Amino acid sequence: MSSPISDTESNSHPKHPKHSGGRPADPVWKHFEKKPISSSGHFSAKCNYCTTFMSRGRPHELQVHLAKDCRKCPNDIQLKYLTNIVNTEETQNVEPFDINKRRKIEQSQQTTLDDHWDDITETPKHRQKIIDQAWLKAFVSCGIPFSVIENPFFVDAIKSLRSSYNPPSRNSLSGTLLNREVIKVNSKVNNTLKNMNNLTLGMNYK
């Protein structure tokens, strides 16, 4: 007759806690205080350096905050996320490899009847980004209000050049695209300053 299992024997194999699973948290969260919100799996974020609060923290927006907006962020952390964002952006802007690229370049040098008609083919994503960046630089350097990008007559003018191109919204132009360009410029300035041995700053007062 088998003897009953004692409490000591039943506890001889400790139970391991179950892994919660899911995607691991982005490392950028260690610079923020996170609290769960009503949406499952999402959190609010409060910067550990400047106490800026975001009702819903998104990793990319948190990185942008540290790289560009936070005035109290340590320099090494700011530089880290400046570099990360710029490197990610450059990777996404790489044009996909095309085995027929040389042939296409040779053919593009020849003028055809189709060159005088509107190109209605879908605008590639990498080309869309280049055009968007060009619009941003034009708006900023010329002091054009961002709201103009959504003016129906302005949109019609853009569409007349390439009907398949969809211009960015006002929020995208003044938000995501502007943040991206500011971060790229800041990164270039930091790299230039880092490689300078002697630097003199001058100010011209009128």
Edge-first strand listing for the sheet containing 43-47: 32-36, 43-47, 53-54
Encode the chain (206 residues) as per-residue pLDDT tens digits.
444 544 444 444 444 434 444 567 889 999 999 999 987 788 999 999 998 999 999 998 999 899 888 999 998 898 888 888 878 776 655 444 443 444 454 444 454 434 444 556 778 888 888 888 888 888 988 899 989 999 999 889 888 878 888 888 888 888 878 888 888 888 887 777 777 777 776 766 66
Please give the Cα distance from 158 to 167 (Å, whole number).
Answer: 8
